[in-house]
C-alpha cells in the first residue's frame, strides 16, 4: 500500500492505493477478452432481426430458440403506451435467439428476436 495526499477542489484527502501484481491484471484482462469474444459471437448470429417498434415492457414471450414460426405468428407481447402490442414474425423460419425475457424494459429499436429466414 502506498499513501498519497490528493487535493480536489481545494480539499485535501489522504488516500491509500494498493499495487496489484501483474497476474491479477492479466487475469482481469483475460476475463474482459473472453466477455468481448462471447459478445461478438452473439452479435454475429445471422438472421432476420425483429426490433421493438416502441419502448416498453415485455409482458409475455411465446417462442424460444429452435421454435419454427410462420409469418404472422405472435412472438411476444410488448406493453407500450398503456397498450398491449403483439409483436409478430415478419417471415417463416426458425427462431435463432430470444433476446428478452418477461418483465424486461426495452427501447425503440432493441433487437427482441432473431429468426433464421426460410
Q: CATH assignment of 48-117, given 3.30.365.10, 1.10.10.10, 3.40.50.20, 2.40.50.100?
A: 2.40.50.100
Measured CA to CA, the distance from residue 71 to residue 113 in angstroms comes to 14
For the whole model, what pTM was predicted? 0.62
Average pLDDT over all residues of the chain? 83
For the cut 70, the answer to whether the pLDDT of residue 34 exceeds it is: no
Measured CA to CA, the distance from residue 107 to residue 114 in angstroms comes to 16
Q: Which of 96, 87, 86, 88 is nearest to 118 (CA)?
A: 96
For the cut 50, the answer to whether the pLDDT of residue 79 exceeds it is: yes
Lowest pLDDT segment from 35-39, 75-79, 89-93? 35-39
Q: What is the model's pLDDT at position 46? A: 83
For the cut 80, the answer to whether the pLDDT of residue 90 exceeds it is: yes
Lowest pLDDT segment from 16-25, 45-54, 82-91? 16-25
Domain limits of the chain? 2-43, 48-117
Amino acid at each position: 500500500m502506498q499513501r498519497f495526499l490528493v487535493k480536489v477542489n481545494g480539499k485535501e484527502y489522504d488516500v491509500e492505493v494498493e499495487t496489484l501484481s501483474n497476474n491479477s491484471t492479466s487475469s482481469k484482462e483475460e476475463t474482459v477478452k473472453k466477455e468481448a469474444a462471447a459478445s461478438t459471437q452473439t452479435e454475429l448470429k445471422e438472421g432476420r432481426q425483429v426490433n421493438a417498434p416502441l419502448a416498453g415492457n415485455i409482458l409475455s414471450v411465446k417462442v424460444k430458440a429452435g421454435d419454427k414460426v410462420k409469418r404472422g405468428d405472435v412472438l411476444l407481447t410488448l406493453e407500450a403506451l398503456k397498450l398491449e402490442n403483439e409483436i409478430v414474425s415478419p417471415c417463416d423460419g426458425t427462431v435463432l435467439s430470444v433476446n428478452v425475457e418477461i418483465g424486461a424494459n426495452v427501447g425503440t429499436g432493441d433487437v427482441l428476436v432473431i429468426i433464421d429466414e426460410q
